[in-house]
Every structure is written in structure tokens, then in C-alpha cells.
Chain A
């Protein structure tokens, strides 16, 4: 037997306070599990997510970053997620252009009522990242033990 440590990805989820964070709460209340690899950071709105935060997460050792916000049209602040959508579209396209695995970043719109979708999305994302393996292309070796 090879002594290979099972790869457990590190996943950062930026969730907007009004929809997706509440969706995560609902997933919790409904005991809809998803892997502990996912750690949530609460932001007021998806439009608060700066591309720098996403790169920062990769630098610090994240293997996948997901941003979840209200469904387009349902933003608590009317338009935040529309701006976020454009920003992330461009950022993800750029990361792809640089040859950084496209699948490591994801955006989902999850409402406060969609606990099941939250859980399902996170399960899927963890599977995707586990299959992709460790983030090598946007890593900062100084931050690795």
C-alpha cells in the first residue's frame, strides 16, 4: 500500500448575506450535509467580492473558490449581483486564458429558500475540485507547509 494522504480540497465560499448565506443556514436547518471542506465567508452582497479576494484565497492555499449570491433580479441591493456577474465573468475568463483551471472558480445563484440547492451545489463543487486535485497554478509556495 502506498502511503498517500487522501486529498481534501480547501474551498472558500463567498456567500451574500441575504440569499446564499441564508440558503446555507437553511441547508443547515434541514440537515442537508455537504463536505466540511467548504468554509463560508459572509459578505453583504456578491458585488462585495473583489477579484483580489479570490486570488488571495488561491494564494493562501484554497483549491476552489465559489461565490454565491441572490438570483439575478433578486438582489437585496437591486443590482449588486448583476455587477458581480459581469466582474466574475471577466475574471473567470481571464483565469481560463492564463491556463488556470476554469473549474476551480464558480458562481451560483442560491436564494434563501434554496437550502437544497446550496447543499447540492457544494457537494458538486467539492467533487469537481477533488477530481481536479491540488491548486498548483495559482499557488504561493510560501504559504504551504
Chain B
């Protein structure tokens, strides 16, 4: 455990940023937190979390995959990816940190997605324990401890200082590189801070939310559940929940004809979109009910089925705050039998 006096916070950021790109939550022009590159003068946001999740760092909304040149009947392929450089993300919350494991379970299993892998290898995640969770938080439901997030380094804020704990080699290396700014940390202070946070977590309205009714082996039982009709009824079929979700990982691959060649890129896609499963000979999910069901079944049943019971949701609460019609995974879980 190391300690960083908040007075030295800027020096710390400067030192990290001197070696690699440092990203941290910053308030944008409408006062909402988003990850931005640290530069001198940039202040960290005090918001609980960013509007968009931290998945962007490893799974950006759009990314170029390759290019093609077509002349006459011939086709040439060019791998145009840019080399990924080392970077640090500072201030990731427990929920988002947990989401990386979920993304890994998709992108790092065979066949490995090299685009994702490269960014994952080059990124160091510094997490920040929560001290003021919101009513929309329910990470505890999925066994995530907001007071003790994962990540390469974990940070707790205690009076006037950050306590930092390296959890991985990458984390050790990061702390070592700024060792001259750090002092010895205080385990007890961290425990106190954690206790405080956990006390608040227990009082949150969704603290008692359980995963009863969903999870492994529930496919047959839930797929034809009558509640899907009313749950999905007012869904707009937009991609808001998907795009703010830290664990949604579906993508589309598209080609763009620049006039001088074809750029093939991938971009986020949403299973809520009506064309998600549209193919040349039809669409296997024609109604919003089917699409809505897919999204929640995937997170709450199919994913756990494939991943030893781990849920595809980390309880960050973004979809609760952002859904235009306030339909969300909590309402779904409760309707399907979850207790609160």
C-alpha cells in the first residue's frame, strides 16, 4: 500500500503522463464526466462515473480494421492498424473494472481478437474505490465490491490523500515509476474507507436486488416468459443502453468506399436495433420483443450459461439513468423474479 498526498496529485499525473498517455474522468462542456487525456491544467471530475463506460479504451466505438484497393479485377488487402501505445486509465470504478473481465471472456478467447488484445496489453487500469455511490448502483448484486475494485492499481481516497495498491505486475511497474512521489500507505485508513462505503452501499435502494429467477439454465423457463411483451412494449429500439453499457460488446463490420479504396471498420452495434440480425434472406428477430429479450437473456442467462455463472452485467446503473423510457435491467430482473 502506497500513499499519495493530494497535494502531489498533479505531479503524479504529470509523471505518469510523461511516460505514457494518461486518461482520467474530466467534466466536459455540459458538466458530465468523460474520459479525457490528461494535460497540465486538466482536473479530475468528482462525478461518480463517466456517462460512457471505460470499455471505449479497449473496444472503441469505431475502429479501422483494414483497407482494400480494388483495381480492375484485382484486390489488395492492407492491414492499416496503428501501433497501440502504452496508456493508463485512471479513476475506473469497480463496475467498469469488472466489465473488462467480461469483455476479455469474449475477445481474448480463441480466436483471439488481436485488435482488442493489443489495447488490453498496453493499457494499465487504475481503479478508484467508490465513496458516494448513487441510487442506480447495484454492482453488489453481481458480487462486485465498489469499495474494493479490481484493476492493476486500486486507489482509495482518504482524508487528503490517495491510498494506492498495486494488484498486478503492470500496477507494480506503474507505481514504481512514480515511486519518488509516494509514501507508505495506511491499510487501516483503507479499511475504514471501505467500511464507510460498504455501509452506504447497504443503504442503497437496490442493495437487496438478487439474481433469483435468472442465471444459469434458465433459458427454457424464461425465453417464453409472458412478461417480455409488457417489458419490451415501450422500448424505442435505440442503442442507448447498449452504448453506455460497459459489457455490451456486439459490433458490426462495415465497408466505406472512400473513392480511393475501401476502408473496412468495425463499430458498436446494438442487438436492440431492428437490423441487427437482418440478413439477405430475412431477419431472425423481427419484433422489438425478440430483440429486447435477446439483450437481457444474453446478459442474465446465456452469458452466465457460457461463463460459469458470471453475469453479463456489472450493475453500473448507466442504463437506469440513461434509458429514454426508463426501462432497464433492474426492472427486467425484478419482473423475472429477482427480489429487492
Contacts and interface: CB of A to CB of B under 8 A. Distances in A.
Contacts of B258: 142-143
A5 interface: no
A60 interface: yes
B259 interface: yes
A140 to B, nearest CB: 8
A143 B67 CA distance: 13
Nearest to B260: A145
Interface residues of A, number: 5
Interface in A83-137: none
Contacts of B260: 143, 145
Nearest to A142: B258
Interface string A47-62: 0000000000000110
B213 to A, nearest CB: 47
B285 interface: no
B263 interface: yes
B333 to A, nearest CB: 42
9 contacts: A60-B259, A61-B259, A142-B256, A142-B258, A142-B263, A143-B258, A143-B259, A143-B260, A145-B260
Contacts of A60: 259
Contacts of B263: 142
The 3 closest A-B pairs by CB, nearest first: A143-B258, A142-B258, A143-B259
A40 B263 CA distance: 28
The listed residue with most B CB atoms (<10 A of its CB), out of A142, A143, A145, is A142
Nearest to A141: B258
B236 to A, nearest CB: 24
Nearest to B263: A142
B331 to A, nearest CB: 38
Interface string B225-262: 00000000000000000000000000000001011100
Interface string B176-216: 00000000000000000000000000000000000000000
